[in-house]
Amino acid sequence: MSRRPRLEPFTDILHARFVARPNRFRVRCALMDGTTVDAFLPNPGRMWELLWPGVILYLVRRPEDRPERKTAYTVVAVEREGHPVFLHTHVTNDVAEYLIESDRIPALHGARIAQREVAVGRSRFDFVVEQDGCAIYLEVKSCTLFGNGVAMFPDAVTDRGRRHLLHLAEMARDGLPTAVLFVIHYPHVDWFMPDYHTDPAFAAALLEVRDTVQVLAAAVEWRSDLTLGPTVKTPAIPWDYIAQECVDRGAYLLDLELAEGTTVAVGELGPIHFERGHYIYVGSAMGGLAARMARHTRKRKKLRWHVDYLRQAATDCTALPIRSSKRIECALAQALTDAGFALGPKRFGSSDCACPGHLFYSPEPPLHRTAIHTVLQQFRMAPPDVSR
């Protein structure tokens, strides 16, 4: 007889507002009484679209059996659009076990957990699941990146995740059934895709193994008390669309930071004064997107485009790719205008199109503004056109 599945609820949940993230596993936040505290963040993802100043975090106190921990609190969720998004990756396996043993994953109907944390050669996988007398090696991934009805994984490059996929495929070819389950911590999604914008190598690996490794996705609903709601959706995975769009071409945004105001001679545009702050450049590379972004981020190069001159003055440069089989550069520039970003010097970066300019200004880091994430989601996470 299988045991009754349980998922222990969190107790004594506190709310706080995000202030900063000193490192991957620690955040600084302000409790509702104004006290500033540091908290452990058990999630190494970037979470740029979730963690910006002022958003509400859900905290719990450090377990009494972990006195060695330097922080007194742990972040377990963050609020987005009035709903908690679960962040605690260490607990995601408990969520997966609960979903499997309560028969809420259709593809794993009747399955039960036989073993947790299973070492196979050079890898360690989350579960061995028994279904119809067959043992399935299962890896679980926690997904918190979503928008426009689309969920994507990962939100940062994960070579470990890519190697897990390839090893699962190798095991499957040797006769061992394998699967990967993406637990999406938001219920309102219709599609799941690998994030080929951020980690094209992981996306390519998922495409490569899809016929040998069972790829599953489940979107769950979290209530305000951090208990699971009744909704568990099975998003579709549009494989043909993913293969079409997982390409080394498309558009990109460059976030160029100027620590102080300066005047730059920009090619034929001449001397231009730039105020202190951040400048967002919209570019396009319909052949060799990765190489183009790598060129822009380094300073030592032959100055060719308008942005090359500004790059020399910038103290920092972050590239944000938007892979696409279509040319979207001008539509992206218009979206930034519509989102309220101030246009920079006229004709900067737009000498070969009708746009007034492809450079925009933000006095604060653009990744701290909801507007930039709305634009990124609009283009990165558009619902797939499966009719083509």
Are 264 and 237 part of one and the same domain? no
Mean pLDDT, residues 29-36 taken together:
94
Are 75 and 118 part of one and the same domain? no
Mean pLDDT, residues 356-367 taken together:
96
Are 70 and 99 part of one and the same domain? no
Q: Which of 190, 210, 245 is the last residue of a domain?
A: 245
Are the C-beta atoms of residues 175 and 136 closer than 8 Å to each other?
A: no
pLDDT at residue 52, as a whole number? 87
118/137 Cα distance (integer angstroms): 8
**Going by DSSP bridges, is the β-strand pair 191-194/342-343 parallel, antiparallel, or unpaired?**
unpaired
pLDDT tens-place string over residues 306-357: 999 999 999 999 999 999 999 999 999 999 999 999 999 999 999 889 999 9
Q: Which of 67, 82, 97 is the last residue of a domain?
A: 82
Answer yes or no: is 95 within a domain. yes
pLDDT tens-place string over residues 206-231: 999 999 999 999 999 999 999 999 88
Are the C-beta atoms of residues 27 and 16 closer than 8 Å to each other?
A: no
Are 230 and 351 part of one and the same domain? no
Share above pLDDT 70 across residues of the chain, in percent, rounded to a whole number: 96
Are 124 and 236 part of one and the same domain? yes
Q: Which of 82, 111, 130 is the last residue of a domain?
A: 82
**Mean residue pLDDT across the chain:** 93
Q: Alpha-carbon dihedral of residues 30, 35, 38, 43, nearest 10 degrees? A: -30
**pLDDT over 60 at 387, yes or no:** no
Answer yes or no: is 177 within a domain. yes
Mean pLDDT, residues 363-381 taken together:
93
Place of tokens 């609903």: 221
Answer yes or no: is 5 within a domain. no
**pLDDT over 60 at 3, yes or no:** no
Q: What is the number of other CB atoms lying within 10 angstroms of the CB of residue 330?
A: 16
pLDDT confidence band for 8 (50 / 70 / 90) = confident
**pLDDT over 80 at 388, yes or no:** no
pLDDT confidence band for 259 (50 / 70 / 90) = very high
Q: What is the number of other CB atoms lying within 10 angstroms of the CB of residue 195?
A: 24
Are the C-beta atoms of residues 357 and 347 closer than 8 Å to each other?
A: yes
- Measure the CA angle with vertex 196, ends 191 and 155; round to 5°: 80
272/289 Cα distance (integer angstroms): 28
Q: Which CATH number characterizes residue 137's domain?
A: 3.40.1350.60
Are 27 and 161 part of one and the same domain? no
Are the C-beta atoms of residues 372 and 352 closer than 8 Å to each other?
A: no
Answer yes or no: is 6 within a domain. no
Answer yes or no: is 161 within a domain. yes
Question: In Å, how far from its chain's centre is CA 77?
Answer: 15
217/211 Cα distance (integer angstroms): 16
Are 283 and 217 part of one and the same domain? no
Mean pLDDT, residues 130-144 taken together:
96
Are 46 and 117 part of one and the same domain? no
Answer yes or no: is 3 within a domain. no
Q: What is the number of other CB atoms lying within 10 angstroms of the CB of residue 354?
A: 6
Are 300 and 322 part of one and the same domain? yes
**Going by DSSP bridges, is the β-strand pair 214-222/228-233 parallel, antiparallel, or unpaired?**
antiparallel
pLDDT tens-place string over residues 53-80: 899 999 998 765 566 668 889 999 999 9
Are 325 and 352 part of one and the same domain? yes
DSSP state of 121: T
Answer yes or no: is 119 within a domain. yes
**pLDDT over 80 at 200, yes or no:** yes
pLDDT confidence band for 30 (50 / 70 / 90) = very high
Are 213 and 105 part of one and the same domain? yes
Domain count along the chain: 3
Are 93 and 236 part of one and the same domain? yes
Which residues span the domain enclosing 21?
Answer: 14-82
Answer yes or no: is 388 within a domain. no
